[in-house]
Structure 1
Amino acid sequence: MLRLLLVDEQRMFVEALTQYLSTESDLWVADSSYPSETDLLERARIAWPDIAVVDIAVLGTRVHEVLRRLEEVCPDVRVVVLTSTVDSDLAVRAARAGAAAWLPKERGISELVEVLRLVGRGHAWYPPEVLGEVLCALRREAGPAGTDHDPLAVLSVREREVLAVMAEGKRGRQIAAELFISVQTVRKHTRGILTKLNVHTQLEAAMLASSGGEMPALAETAVRALPR
C-alpha cells in the first residue's frame, strides 16, 4: 500500500480527494494539509509518505529549494506536482528538482490515481504539453552525446551499480537482492540517479549512460526491458 501526503491550498479539494482515495485498496492518505512550507516539511517528517502530492501554488518559483528540503526531511519520498495552469517553465523547474510527475488538475482524479500508481512503481509522468520543453531543457544540461563528458561522473559507485542492474531489466526487489541492499535504498538510489542525470525515466538514464561509453551494451537491453 502506498502512503500519501496531500498538500493543497484548497481544503475542499483535499477533502474530496481524500474521500475518493479511501475507496482505493492500494492507496492510503497518511496525512493532508493546507500548508505553509514549514507545515509541509513537518508533516512529511511525521507521515513518512511514499508519495507527496503537492500543489505547485504551495511551491511557487521556489520549487527547487522546497523539494530539496523535502528530500532532506524524507529521502524516499517521490513528489507528484499538481497544477491549475500550464506553465512549462515551472514544469522544467519541478523536473530539475526531481519531481516524478507533473499533473494538471483538469485531468481529473481518476487520472491522478493512475499517475500515483505509476510513480509508486518507479515511473515518471509529464503531460505532452510540457514534456517537450522539459526534455529539451534537461538534455541541454546533460550535454550532447558523443563528447568527452562522462554523464556518469556525477553518480556514486553504488548508484552506478544500481544503474547497471537496472539496465538488465530488473526491478526494485531484484536489484535489492542482487546488491544486498534494502528496497528503500534502491528507491533512494534510483531517484538520485534520475535527478543527477537530469532524466525522468530509467530508460533515459540507461540510454544516457550508454552514450557516455561507460556501459556498452546498455541501450539495447534498456529499450527491451525498461518501462516507457
Structure 2
Amino acid sequence: MLRLLLVDEQRMFVEALTQYLSTESDLWVSDSAYPSETDLLDRARIAWPDVAVVDIAILRNRVHEVLRRLEEACPDARVVVLSSTLDPEPAVRAARAGAAAWLPKERGITELVEVIRLVGRGHAWYPPEVLAEVLCALRQEAGPVGTGDDPLAVLSVRERQVLGVMAEGKRGRQIAAELFISVQTVRKHTRGILTKLNVHTQLEAAMLANSGGETPVLSETTVRALPR
C-alpha cells in the first residue's frame, strides 16, 4: 500500500481527494498539511509517505526550497507536483527541484491517481505539452561532464554503483539494501554524484547514466522509467 502526504492550501480539494482515495485499496492518505505550515516537515517525517502530492500554487519561488526540505525529511518519498497552469516554466522548476511528476489540476482526480501509482512504482511523469521543454532544460543544465571518453570518470567506484542502482529506478532505502550500506551513506554519495556531474536532481543523473554520459534525447515512455 502506498502512503500519501497531501500538501495543499485548498482544504476542500484535500478532503475530496482523501475521500476518493479511501476507496482505493492500494492507497492510504497518512496525513495532509498546508504548504505554509511551520510543522510541515515534522508532519512529513511522522507520516513517512511513499508519495507526497504538493500544490505549488502558493510556493512560487520557494518551490525548490520546499521540495528540497521535503526530500531531506523523507528521502524515500517521491513528489507529485500539482499546478493550476500548463505553462512549462513551473514544470521546469519542479523538475529542477527533483519532482518525479508534474500534473495540471485540470486533468482531474482520476488521472492524478494514475500518476500517483506510476510514481509509486518508481516512474517519472510529465505531460506531453511540457515534456520536451523540461528535458531540453535538464539537458542544457547538465552540460558536458567528466573528462576524456568516459564523462562519468569523475565518480568514485562506490558512486558509480549508487548511480547504477539509481538509474534502475531505485532510491534511498532500496539502494542501501542492495549495496549493503546505510541510508546516510546513500545520501552522502548521492550529493557527491550530483555535485561531480553538475546536475541538480537524481532524474538528471539517471539520464546521464542511462546514456553512458552522453546528452540523451528521451521519449516520454523512456522518462517514465527514470527516478526523480
TM-score by length of 1: 0.76
SS of equivalent residue, structure 1 residue 211: coil
Higher relative contact order (CA 8 A, sep 6+): 2
In the alignment, residue 225 of structure 2 is paired with which amino acid?
A: P
Tell whether 2:7 aligns with 1:4. no
CA drift of 1:209 comes to 3.2
Query: Per the alignment, in what secondary structure is the counterpart of residue 59 of structure 2?
Result: helix
Deviations 1:126-182 (A, max 9, x none): 111111111111100111589759754776654420333566x69679866652357
Aligned-CA RMSD value? 3.8
- Residue 125 of structure 1 and its aligned partner are, at CA, apart by 0.5
Residue 180 of structure 2 corresponds to residue 180 of structure 1: yes
Give the equivalent residue in structure 2 for 1:218: none
Number of the residue aligned with 2:18: 18
Q: State the partner residue of 1:211.
A: 214
Distance 2:170 2:85 in 1: 34
Identify if the C-alpha distance between structure 1 residues 186 and 96 changes in structure 2 by more than 3 Å, giving closer, same or farther.
Answer: same
Deviation digits for residues 21-63 of structure 1, max 9, x if unmatched? 1111111100012341524223212211111101011422211
- 1:7 alignment partner AA: V
Q: TM-score, normalised by structure 2?
A: 0.76
2:139 paired with 1:136: no
- Structure-to-structure mapping, 1:1-228, within 5 angstroms: 1-144=1-144, 148=148, 152=152, 157-165=157-165, 178-181=178-181, 196=199, 198=201, 200=203, 204-211=207-214, 227=225
The gaps in structure 1 that reach 5 residues or longer are 213-222
SS in 2 for 1:125: coil
* Equivalence for 1:219: none
Distance 1:211 1:181, change over 3 A: same
Structure 1 residue matching 2:32: 3-state secondary structure? strand
Question: How many residue pairs end up in the alignment?
Answer: 215
Q: Is the Cα contact below 8 Å between 2:52 and 2:78 reproduced in 1? A: yes
Q: CA separation of 1:33/1:166 partners in 2, compared to 1, >3 Å: closer, same or farther?
A: closer
Structure 2 SS opposite 1:209: coil
**Distance of aligned partners of 1:109 and 1:145 in 2 relative to their CA distance in 1, 3 Å threshold:** same
Could you tell me which runs of 5 or more consecutive residues in structure 2 were left unpaired when the two chains were aligned.
216-220
